[in-house]
């Protein structure tokens, strides 16, 4: 992993972000800096280690019951575009 | 009136109880102080009218003998906590006009205890930073100035930098912060106040704008260990709406304040003696050992062998979680929107205009390390290293009760506003002593221990066992008493 292949256009697309040519170059440079720095991790052999995603081992389950409802207005309160009790988006069907 | 701003939270509680002053008087003093301190840029949103209304209700309860546990105590909240009908921005342009329809659990608990909030405090955008530099609303200013360059404005640290600045400058009795990699402890250290990051799961994360969900934790910041303990008791506790919050009774933290540390074993990790550790900071670290020893603790050398991998691990995991969490900002349901001809273009336009460059950088890194072909090499590897780092602590805590380290490697922010480095990695290095506890989910407290030769505050950190907050409060109090730290001089303005 010492040579970091970095397809900045693809990463931007996956992140749903746009950047000018100049910004793309700046992001590429700083991403390379970060990736070079984190490559320190390579020197540890972790082949026999279990990964952990968090510290809480067993999260409690709760009953699947409705505890609110009829709050459509509250949910839509911050929507930039709304109509007929729904979120507005650009046309998505041809 | 300003005298009411100088007192501690504990003294304010006594004064209110003894009816030496009213909640309204206490609130008015802080509202007027808030105006005097406006050049610290500590607040994003202020709510003085709301505060005065609440103060009146507090006074009515106090008069009737129905006072709530913290009735009339004047606080403020980091602008990462959702507050019902009060704008919550996370210091981001994308949430500039976001008005939450609900209240976060932690701020609700504080309200239910009778506290009065002055408003919402500045931070790094989405809590991503160590300085408040990345706030859409501009940096906050540290009320401390260095002796060498008294004209230079310094950062208050971050991400809870508005929080640390306002408490240090006597603008609130205590505040909330959040800590993902050091965001409570580092700014507390840079502003000469106390900051406590509880064990992961001790406080509910519900209603806190998510950054890295497996690392984020809310905690109190105040001018004394006692005040921090008083606030923690109210903030902590199980919340059925946060499955990672832990269902355990909440102790009366302040009651153990003076219990001492006789017989406690304090670990000193050799790996924290890093290159770049300031000589002055190192001296205070040694003084800290001596203070604890003089109070009956035993100092034991320990090893946390994977310490040097903690920062790289953190800077893989935190951005990975952030890239996922921040995918919710799509310009459709809430947050600002920039139109586009297709739905994807709407997403891209809204997100590109709404996020600042550090947030974008972390989304990009996070997306990259989670993407096909790189997941195992980065994300999975970092999760395994997190295991090792966590195991280091588990082993160490078989021998010791607490661990003593510096909070930060250097004396209060050596960087003046406007002179920050352009290379992101050098800013990330500030978190070197604090990220390990987030990775291991452990509690940590930063207590001011003295001033550098340059006249800037330094902090010592104590790390505890899971749910070992009471130990931290006891040992933190010992350090506070032994250090005899001189707090910031009270001035009209800074």
What are the DSSP calls for B277-299, one per residue? --HHHHHHHHHHHHHHHHTT-EE
A42, A45, A54, A79: best mutation site toward chain B, by most B Cβ within 10 Å? A54
Instruction: Show the DSSP H helices in B355-455 as ranges.
Output: 357-370, 381-399, 424-428, 435-440
Question: Is residue B375, in this structure, part of any structural domain at all?
Answer: no
* Residue A61: per-residue pLDDT: 82
Number of residues assigned to chain B: 494
Closest to B365 (Cβ–Cβ): which among A34, A54, A59? A34
Q: Is residue B46 part of a domain?
A: yes
> For the stretch B29-60, what's the b/e string if a residue is b when 16 or more beta carbons lie within 10 angstroms of its beta carbon?
bbbebbebbeebbbbbbbbbebbeebbeebbe
Question: Among partner residues A41, A78, A90, which is closest to B98 by beta-carbon distance?
Answer: A78
Residue A26 lies in a domain: yes
The alpha carbon of residue A50 is apart from the nearest alpha carbon of chain B, in Å, by 6
Instruction: Please report where in the chains the tokens 């452990």 appear, as a residue.
Output: B442
Q: Are B216 and B133 in contact (CB under 8 A)?
A: no
Domain extent at residue A17: 8-43
Question: How far is A54 from chain B, CA to nearest CA, in Å?
Answer: 5
Is A49 in contact with B349 (Cβ distance < 8 A)?
no
Q: Do A54 and B244 touch (CB under 8 A)?
A: yes
| Nearest residue to B427 via CA among B24, B54, B128 | B128
Cβ distance B209 to B82 under 8 Å? yes
Tally of domains in chain A: 1
CB contact under 8 A, A87 and B333: yes
Asked if B101 lies within 8 A of A75 by C-beta distance, the reply is yes
Closest chain B CA to residue A59: B243
Tokens representing B20 are 């030496």
Interface residue B84 vs chain A (CB under 8 A): no
On whether residue B239 sits in a domain, the answer given is yes
Whether A25 is in a domain gets the answer: yes
Q: Categorize the per-residue pLDDT at A53 as very low, low, confident or very high, splitting at 50, 70 and 90.
A: confident
Query: Is 90 exceeded by the pLDDT of residue B416?
Result: no
pLDDT at residue A1 greater than cutoff 50: no
Global pTM?
0.97
**Model pLDDT, residue B284:** 97
Look at A60 and B316 and tell me if their CB atoms are within 8 Å: no
Interatomic CA distance for residues B376 and B383, integer angstroms: 10
Residue A3's pLDDT band, with cuts at 50, 70 and 90, is low
Mean residue pLDDT of chain B comes to 96
Please, are residues B110 and B117 in contact by the beta-carbon 8 Å criterion? yes
Catalytic site residue B78?
yes
Helices (H), B113-160: none
Q: Tell whether B198 is covered by a domain.
A: yes
**B436 Cβ contact partners less than 8 Å away, ≥ 6 residues apart:** B304, B307, B310, B389, B393, B463
8-state DSSP, B331: S
Q: What is the mean pLDDT of residues B325-344?
A: 96
Chain A residue whose CA is closest to B316: A38
User: Bigger pLDDT: B340 or A69?
Assistant: B340
- Assess contact for B70 and B110: CB atoms under 8 A: yes
Write down the ipTM of this complex.
0.94
Residue A52 belongs to some domain of the structure: no
CA–CA gap between residue B432 and residue B15 (Å, rounded): 41
pLDDT at A2 over 60: no
Phi, psi at B116, each rounded to 5°: -120, 125
Range of the domain at B14: 3-265+399-483
Say yes or no to pLDDT of A57 above 80: no
Could you tell me which chain B residue has the CA closest to the CA of A44? Answer: B385
Interface of B with A in 196-215 (CB under 8 A): 200-201, 213-214
DSSP state of B302: E
Q: Which of A52, A60, A92 sits opposite B387 (nearest CB)?
A: A52
Q: Is A38 on the interface with B (CB under 8 A)?
A: yes
Q: What does the pLDDT look like over B200-236, one tens digit per residue?
A: 999 999 999 999 999 999 999 999 999 999 999 999 9
Which of A5, A16, A44 has the highest number of chain B CBs within 10 A, making it the mutation to test binding with B? A16
B431 with B311: CB under 8 angstroms? Answer: yes
Residue B13, classified by CB atoms within 10 Å of its CB into exposed (0-12), middle (13-18) or buried (19+), is buried
A21 lies within 8 A of chain B by CB:
no
Mean pLDDT within B135-155: 94
Instruction: Tell me if residue A72 falls in helix, strand or coil.
Output: helix
Q: By three-state DSSP, how is residue B1 classified? A: coil
User: Residue B74's domain is classified under what CATH number?
Assistant: 3.90.1300.10
| Structural domain includes residue A16 | yes
Q: Could you give the number of structural domains in chain B?
A: 1
């Amino acid at each position: 992993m010492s040579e970091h292949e970095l397809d900045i256009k693809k990463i931007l697309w996956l992140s749903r972000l746009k950047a000018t040519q100049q910004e793309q170059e700046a992001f590429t440079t700083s991403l390379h800096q970060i990736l070079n720095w984190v490559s320190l991790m390579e020197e540890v052999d972790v082949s026999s280690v279990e990964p952990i995603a968090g510290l809480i081992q067993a999260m409690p389950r709760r009953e699947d019951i409705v505890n609110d409802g009829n709050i459509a207005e509250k949910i839509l309160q911050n929507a930039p575009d709304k109509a007929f009790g729904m979120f507005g988006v650009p046309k998505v069907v041809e | 009136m300003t005298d009411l701003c100088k007192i501690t939270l504990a003294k304010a509680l006594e004064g209110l109880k003894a009816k030496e002053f009213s909640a309204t008087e206490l609130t008015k003093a802080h509202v007027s102080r808030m105006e005097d301190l406006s050049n610290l840029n500590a607040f994003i949103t202020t709510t003085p009218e709301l505060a005065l209304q609440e103060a009146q209700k507090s006074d009515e309860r106090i008069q009737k003998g129905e006072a709530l546990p913290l009735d009339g105590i004047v606080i403020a909240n980091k602008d990462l906590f959702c507050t019902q009908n009060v704008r919550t921005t996370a210091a981001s342009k994308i949430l500039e006009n976001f008005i939450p329809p609900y209240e976060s659990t932690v701020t609700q608990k504080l309200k239910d205890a009778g506290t009065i909030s002055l408003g919402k405090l500045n931070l790094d955008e989405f809590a991503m930073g160590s300085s408040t530099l990345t706030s859409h609303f501009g940096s906050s200013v540290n009320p401390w100035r260095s002796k060498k360059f008294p004209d230079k404005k310094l950062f208050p640290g971050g991400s809870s930098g508005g929080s640390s600045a306002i408490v240090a400058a006597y603008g609130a009795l205590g505040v909330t912060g959040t800590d993902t990699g050091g965001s409570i402890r580092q700014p507390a250290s840079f502003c000469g106040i106390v900051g406590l990051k509880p064990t992961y799961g001790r406080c509910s994360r519900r209603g806190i704008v998510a950054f890295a969900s497996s690392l984020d934790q809310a905690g109190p910041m105040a001018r004394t260990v006692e005040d921090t303990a008083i606030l923690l008791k109210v903030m902590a506790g199980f919340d059925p709406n946060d499955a990672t919050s832990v269902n355990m009774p909440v102790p009366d933290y302040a009651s153990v304040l003076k219990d001492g540390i006789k017989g406690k074993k304090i670990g000193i990790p050799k790996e924290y003696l890093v290159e770049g550790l300031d000589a002055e900071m190192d001296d205070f670290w040694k003084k800290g050992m001596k203070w604890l020893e003089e109070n009956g603790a035993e100092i034991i050398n320990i090893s946390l062998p994977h310490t040097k991998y903690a920062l790289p691990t953190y800077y893989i995991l935190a951005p990975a979680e952030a890239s996922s969490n921040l995918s919710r900002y799509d310009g459709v349901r809430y947050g600002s929107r920039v139109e586009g001809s297709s739905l994807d273009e709407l997403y891209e336009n809204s997100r590109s205009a709404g996020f600042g460059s550090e947030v974008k950088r972390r989304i990009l890194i996070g997306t990259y390390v989670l993407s096909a072909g790189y997941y195992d090499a980065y994300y999975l590897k970092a999760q395994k290293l997190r295991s090792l780092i966590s195991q280091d602590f588990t082993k160490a805590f078989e021998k010791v009760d607490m661990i003593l380290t510096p909070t930060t490697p250097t004396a209060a922010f050596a960087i003046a506003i406007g002179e920050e480095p352009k290379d992101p990695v050098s800013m990330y290095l500030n978190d070197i002593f604090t990220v390990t506890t987030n990775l291991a989910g452990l509690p940590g407290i930063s207590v001011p221990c003295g001033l550098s030769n340059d006249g800037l505050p330094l902090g010592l950190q104590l790390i505890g066992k899971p749910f070992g907050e009471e130990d931290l409060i006891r040992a933190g109090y010992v350090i506070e008493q032994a250090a005899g730290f001189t707090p910031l001089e009270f001035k009209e303005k800074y």
